Structure 1
């Protein structure tokens, strides 16, 4: 996997801010990173852990923040009860921040609720934005104040640590969606989703395709040099539909690139 496009995709990712999450947000632009930053990344990690490793290196490259702790396991009675992503320090103000990180892909299902916050779901409908936020608010952030955490981070004054969320998202809307979304969501829309039959119906000979592995999700499709014909992709997508998996598809048509999910539901 090319590391520079992967790193760039993380640095440039859109975040959901306080108006959506109800939690103070942290944008990676606050790190004030050097230009043309590049470093090696592990190749054997799942996407979420890969992003965590990348962000760890970005914090270490920051001129503003220092990385004090990462992936802090909190153990009670020899059992892990949770984990904190990062404790970072502002070098200028000495302020400490407990930073939680997430890198998510959500599809809009307008039929679920009249409240948009409840309509963002994972590609396979087995997770959601509202569930993620609830877990963060009820489990992840309160974990900082657990007595076991205080014992683990005994070198820090827990009560002086602020908390923030870096929730990087790529959002996808129904094909030809005509509804209105707030700017907080609109800026993070990266494409649309369709069903298998619509995908087949919209093919023409000028289009080629690529099904990125999950660890490639979020990378700009223009960075890809490996394109396949329709028959090859149709067969692969058909198998995914049987397995109830919704693949991400990159499409190239002349000099235009599009990203979309093909959903089984």
Structure 2
């Protein structure tokens, strides 16, 4: 995995705005630094943990924010009841922020509901955007004011801390379907999704493909150097779909690149 591309993908990712989340948004563009930091990413870590590491290093490298705490375990009666992602402070205003981070991929399925906000689901239909937002609102943010948090962070005035979220999201629409989306959703659209039959039908010899590992999701495919033909990737795709695992696919066609999901449902 190209580390520079991984870092750049986080910096350039689109955070969902307050209009969607109902929570004040922290934009990574607020971080000011002379150059992107050099980051050593941990091995054998899940995608979410890799992104947390990148954001942590970006905050540390910034000139206008200080990282006070990260991954704060909140323990009650010897049991961990939750975790606070970041506590950061603006170096000039001294404003302290409790920041919750998410890095998510959602596909739009209009058959779920008449409510657009409830139609964004995970690639394998095991999670949903509205559920993630509800968790942030009802569990993650209220955790700051839990009695056990006072013990974990005794030197902070918790009531004066501002809370924000950074929900970095990649949204995918069904192939060929025209979906009327508000601009707040549209700016986070990263591609489309299709089933295997459509993928096979659209293939031609001029196209090349790569199935990135989940750790590389969100990286722009132009950084990839190893490409394969349809015949080289089809068995891997069919096997994963049989196991009900949707796959992200990068496509190169002449000088253009596309990113899309191939789904089993």
Distance in 1 separating the partners of 2:217 and 2:25 = 23
TM-score by length of 1: 0.99
Corresponding residue number in structure 2 for 1:66: 66
Is the Cα–Cα contact under 8 Å of residues 2 and 223 in structure 2 kept in the other structure? no
Q: Output the aligned Cα RMSD.
A: 0.8
Q: CA deviation at 1:176?
A: 1.0
Distance in 2 separating the partners of 1:118 and 1:33 = 37
Distance in 2 separating the partners of 1:38 and 1:243 = 38
Corresponding residue number in structure 2 for 1:195: 195
Is the Cα–Cα contact under 8 Å of residues 173 and 179 in structure 2 kept in the other structure? no
Corresponding residue number in structure 1 for 2:44: 44
Is the Cα–Cα contact under 8 Å of residues 7 and 38 in structure 1 kept in the other structure? no
- 3-state DSSP of counterpart to 2:163: strand
Corresponding residue number in structure 1 for 2:169: 169
Distance in 2 separating the partners of 1:100 and 1:162 = 11
Deviates more, 1:28-37 or 1:96-105: 28-37
- 3-state DSSP of counterpart to 1:127: coil
Corresponding residue number in structure 2 for 1:226: 226
Is the Cα–Cα contact under 8 Å of residues 171 and 191 in structure 1 kept in the other structure? yes
Is the Cα–Cα contact under 8 Å of residues 70 and 84 in structure 1 kept in the other structure? yes
Is the Cα–Cα contact under 8 Å of residues 37 and 57 in structure 2 kept in the other structure? no
TM-score by length of 2: 0.99
Is the Cα–Cα contact under 8 Å of residues 106 and 171 in structure 1 kept in the other structure? yes
The number of equivalent residue pairs is 265
Distance in 2 separating the partners of 1:54 and 1:114 = 37
Is the Cα–Cα contact under 8 Å of residues 211 and 250 in structure 1 kept in the other structure? yes
Q: CA deviation at 1:36?
A: 4.3
Gaps of 5+ in 1: none
Corresponding residue number in structure 2 for 1:114: 114
Q: Deviations over 1:193-219 (max 9, x none)?
A: 000100011110001100000000000
Is the Cα–Cα contact under 8 Å of residues 195 and 262 in structure 1 kept in the other structure? yes
Corresponding residue number in structure 1 for 2:14: 14
Q: CA deviation at 1:187?
A: 0.8
Superposition misfits of 4+ residues, deviation over 6 angstroms: none
Corresponding residue number in structure 2 for 1:255: 255
